[in-house]
Structure 1
């Protein structure tokens, strides 16, 4: 894999013209970085302090795939049981993996914190560039903001699960989880401001913990836990959700592995803080996909063999089925607590990375005038070199969002599930625009990383096909008959946000929003 088009003299000369710069060393990056920013019409405001290993660690820990399969099985267990967990993970890995390969190519073409909405602006047909990129920008903001709430609330529920495990008299209340979430959000804010310059070093340490923790969980499960038979794991589909079709149930259950595998594009939203971004980002995304995809598959197979009762897993005693599985394996409160704390710490670290990703994506979209009060959210404080207002918004918004859980956990879960659908929409539109460009035979802009002409086209088609199917079933309820308590309200939130975005566009943003394609340099 590499640049399938080669590097012509014009490109070499263009890069050489950016060898000298007046930017301070921490912002300068490479000549290629400066050329990319000039081409995209962007000013370098953030520090480029991430190299390959730190940004690889950043994306890998944000995804926490092998950790995520433990907390995401609530989708799969009722909808096909153990075989759905395993087989739909493989389907999701192939389909979403193909999409990520395509996005890695786009990241090499346009390495910007805007990510998907910027790519849509560059690659969509001229007639729809502005509106499509604007809507995708809104869904990107929604998806990543909901992602913060999801990860922070998951940390709170894991802490509650530990309390239930170790204190038989503890009775969890909704306000407990809300207050714990507030504390988690506050810590995320501290790491993303006071310790922001140390994040690259921290991410390297967390990458090591991510890998070592995998073996710390895997080995005890295989050594001590009771096991299902291979026939039960691979062939014995059990649908207890009420759906009559095993196929439909399995497609709904894919949301579990999809949740665990979503997020390699997080590295893209940190693009303007990565040195040599057009080369480093694609490799970081592919490396993250491979590391997390493989470890996630090994862990989900392990979990399927050691899960225990399907019925008990569908209604876990300790908030999450994996805590009960750990206890069944170790028969020790201390051992279970240590294993759970590994998952908890990494989930918290994922929340930190979520705040960083969401704030950069919001900053980028505001920079192009896509949001109300864009001037506030795009502000980068000199000296700090961080979008502090966007970070503050992300943390405050999550704190307000989690208050919904005091009135209705159904409504709050709808907010969380919309994060998946919103990001899928941004992926789908991006890939669709690029595929249309391929089919029309239009030339691509220069890129330093490519999947190759044939393999790139295959990944584009497979990824787009998978995203279409996944997006449809992401709106389905897990259980039937459908009631107000088990309804998947994601469709209501999705339509509501699209309507708000549409009204704001007609009333104001059609004049204030400047699509990225309009800022491109004409001489490169």
Structure 2
């Protein structure tokens, strides 16, 4: 698979990547291969997927994972329930500023390391050598927990919306927990089947799903602004701006400022899918440019449209308390019935349900690529099984079904109460954002300008962006674990179980690393056969580096081991 072709070695060595390989370990690809393969080879991996994703299809997958319409519908309880309409209006804007910073920091990493290992690979490469494996371990497990609960949380909401639609037609019907559970499991299995198909089919399915998602979003947006029946109820056409932007809903026992921060869970969970292009980069053409662009596009476009939809809901909702406490358990369905006739409400809910189906499938695809990449490096138990690529479909089928099984187990939280099942939303938010920020923080505070950026980068603004991203995540971790009630009102049913459901597995992962995994887990495992390639470097450059005459902020120069000892 590899040759001694010096031109090929030079081409791979000169790729703008920050690699786990040492400077003198340059893989040389044999035969016909494109620039994307050179980049991946420089990172230490041989190509295993077909590159059938374009910028558009990659964006479509990530946009499908965002699923703005079903995401807003699913998290309305949090966005509106904690702070009311101010949390949806200016709270969303504040959160999006910081989320966009994280997205741009991630895009920089993706451009420099376009591999499906994504943030996990970046944490291992950028951390000091002694701590690289531990940084990768923490990042990988936190990201995996966020990814593996993505599809279950979406499918749980989807199942609830489907059954809420039944209650509209049959008002006497009240969905039972076992019915929600069984329907959620069915949806999980269907999504796993679709995600096991060949890459080209999956890409086409997601392109169609994302197109429908956009159309459904526009239709619902127009309908709730133009066809609402508020005036027939003796109300003004829209709520006043003073109430939308300034009247808080007492959904928590905390002060207004904290309640606004707590409402950020809706934004964070909704916007946690923009890392999908990173994990799909090995299947994307022109990955070190197209993938980071898809990340930034997803976050920026998704954030703007999501805010517009939230503002539309805030200006038209009639009774927040009634929507949050509706017997169907779906505030969005209850909201639609407040402002629309039954037929219009059912039509909007049907569009939301179809969009949610596409979103759940996108989550399943993205999570399977994460599981595959981590298993390829031995991070998960029985990794050799989950790291296999199906010879026919050329997709990680085993990883898909592992995620499906774990996701189905997490849905059992339905039987532990509303607070417990609600934790899977918080896990998706906190797990993803911890994983997003760890490598960005390492790159900002420990690597600095010695980081070798890819073709997409922020230049001189990278440091400020990294500081803002890190501070936001540090602030939000405890906020996302706060319960809505305090003092004597707090009981098991009102507890925020995020700290248990996310913190428990993370604690076990840390203990496992300290007790055993540190002995054998050394970070990303490259699967290329590399050669020692002589890089011509003048001795005075090496001497200048060692004596401190060369600016330490200059990019690290590849050198031969022999040259170092000679110098």
Query: TM-score of the superposition, structure 1-length normalised?
Result: 0.91
Larger Rg belongs to: 2
- In structure 2, C-alpha distance between the alignment counterparts of 1:48 and 1:294, rounded to whole Å: 30
1:503 aligns with 2:506: no
1:12 is displaced (CA, Å) by 8.6
Distance of aligned partners of 1:513 and 1:287 in 2 relative to their CA distance in 1, 3 Å threshold = same
- In structure 2, C-alpha distance between the alignment counterparts of 1:486 and 1:204, rounded to whole Å: 40
Once the two structures are superposed, residues 82-130 of structure 1 have per-residue CA deviations (whole angstroms, 9 ceiling, x without a partner) of 1111111001110011110010010000011111111111111222111
1:370 is displaced (CA, Å) by 1.0
Distance of aligned partners of 1:12 and 1:136 in 2 relative to their CA distance in 1, 3 Å threshold = closer
What SS class does the counterpart of residue 375 from structure 1 fall into? helix
- In structure 1, C-alpha distance between the alignment counterparts of 2:102 and 2:292, rounded to whole Å: 13
1:502 is displaced (CA, Å) by 2.5
215, 218, 237: which one aligns with 1:215: 218
Aligned to 2:163: 160
Flag the structure with higher helix content.
1
Matches within 5 A, 1:296-307: 296-307=306-317
Greater Cα shift, 246-255 or 473-482? 473-482
Distance of aligned partners of 1:108 and 1:101 in 2 relative to their CA distance in 1, 3 Å threshold = same
Aligned to 1:170: 173
1:231 aligns with 2:242: yes
1:154 is displaced (CA, Å) by 1.0
Aligned to 1:3: none
1:512 aligns with 2:512: no
Distance of aligned partners of 1:191 and 1:22 in 2 relative to their CA distance in 1, 3 Å threshold = farther
Aligned to 2:396: 387
458, 464, 468: which one aligns with 1:462: 468
Matches within 5 A, 1:107-186: 107-186=110-189
Number of aligned positions between the proteins: 505
1:228 is displaced (CA, Å) by 1.2
Distance of aligned partners of 1:11 and 1:235 in 2 relative to their CA distance in 1, 3 Å threshold = farther
What SS class does the counterpart of residue 154 from structure 1 fall into? helix
249, 265, 274: which one aligns with 1:255: 265
Distance of aligned partners of 1:374 and 1:140 in 2 relative to their CA distance in 1, 3 Å threshold = same
Aligned to 2:304: 294
Distance of aligned partners of 1:512 and 1:126 in 2 relative to their CA distance in 1, 3 Å threshold = closer
Instruction: Verify the 8 A CA contact 1:149 1:416 in the aligned structure 2.
Output: no
- In structure 2, C-alpha distance between the alignment counterparts of 1:154 and 1:176, rounded to whole Å: 13
Greater Cα shift, 386-395 or 62-71? 62-71
- In structure 2, C-alpha distance between the alignment counterparts of 1:219 and 1:412, rounded to whole Å: 32
Distance of aligned partners of 1:423 and 1:344 in 2 relative to their CA distance in 1, 3 Å threshold = same
330, 336, 349: which one aligns with 2:340: 330
Aligned to 1:5: none
- In structure 1, C-alpha distance between the alignment counterparts of 2:172 and 2:13, rounded to whole Å: 71
Aligned to 1:424: 433
Aligned to 1:69: 72
Instruction: Verify the 8 A CA contact 2:37 2:46 in the aligned structure 1.
Output: no
Query: TM-score of the superposition, structure 2-length normalised?
Result: 0.84
- In structure 1, C-alpha distance between the alignment counterparts of 2:79 and 2:217, rounded to whole Å: 22
Greater Cα shift, 195-204 or 483-492? 195-204
- In structure 1, C-alpha distance between the alignment counterparts of 2:397 and 2:249, rounded to whole Å: 49
1:448 aligns with 2:458: no
Instruction: Verify the 8 A CA contact 1:369 1:512 in the aligned structure 2.
Output: no
Distance of aligned partners of 1:76 and 1:381 in 2 relative to their CA distance in 1, 3 Å threshold = closer
Gaps of 5+ in 1: 1-8
Instruction: Verify the 8 A CA contact 1:76 1:84 in the aligned structure 2.
Output: yes
Instruction: Verify the 8 A CA contact 1:14 1:35 in the aligned structure 2.
Output: no
1:15 is displaced (CA, Å) by 5.8
- In structure 1, C-alpha distance between the alignment counterparts of 2:73 and 2:412, rounded to whole Å: 25
Aligned to 1:313: 323
1:54 is displaced (CA, Å) by 0.5
- In structure 2, C-alpha distance between the alignment counterparts of 1:385 and 1:259, rounded to whole Å: 30
- In structure 2, C-alpha distance between the alignment counterparts of 1:383 and 1:89, rounded to whole Å: 44
What is the alpha-carbon root mean square deviation over aligned residues?
A: 2.4
1:270 aligns with 2:276: no
Distance of aligned partners of 1:22 and 1:162 in 2 relative to their CA distance in 1, 3 Å threshold = farther
1:517 is displaced (CA, Å) by 8.1
What SS class does the counterpart of residue 127 from structure 1 fall into? coil
1:197 is displaced (CA, Å) by 2.8
- In structure 2, C-alpha distance between the alignment counterparts of 1:43 and 1:514, rounded to whole Å: 19
Aligned to 2:492: 484
Instruction: Verify the 8 A CA contact 1:307 1:322 in the aligned structure 2.
Output: no
- In structure 1, C-alpha distance between the alignment counterparts of 2:441 and 2:500, rounded to whole Å: 24
1:203 is displaced (CA, Å) by 2.3
Distance of aligned partners of 1:506 and 1:459 in 2 relative to their CA distance in 1, 3 Å threshold = closer
Once the two structures are superposed, residues 41-72 of structure 1 have per-residue CA deviations (whole angstroms, 9 ceiling, x without a partner) of 11222221101110011101111234422221
Instruction: Verify the 8 A CA contact 1:182 1:399 in the aligned structure 2.
Output: yes
Distance of aligned partners of 1:115 and 1:133 in 2 relative to their CA distance in 1, 3 Å threshold = same
- In structure 1, C-alpha distance between the alignment counterparts of 2:279 and 2:14, rounded to whole Å: 25
Aligned to 1:352: 361
Gaps of 5+ in 2: 1-8, 17-25, 231-237, 534-557, 559-567
Distance of aligned partners of 1:322 and 1:493 in 2 relative to their CA distance in 1, 3 Å threshold = closer
Instruction: Verify the 8 A CA contact 1:112 1:268 in the aligned structure 2.
Output: yes
Distance of aligned partners of 1:407 and 1:300 in 2 relative to their CA distance in 1, 3 Å threshold = closer
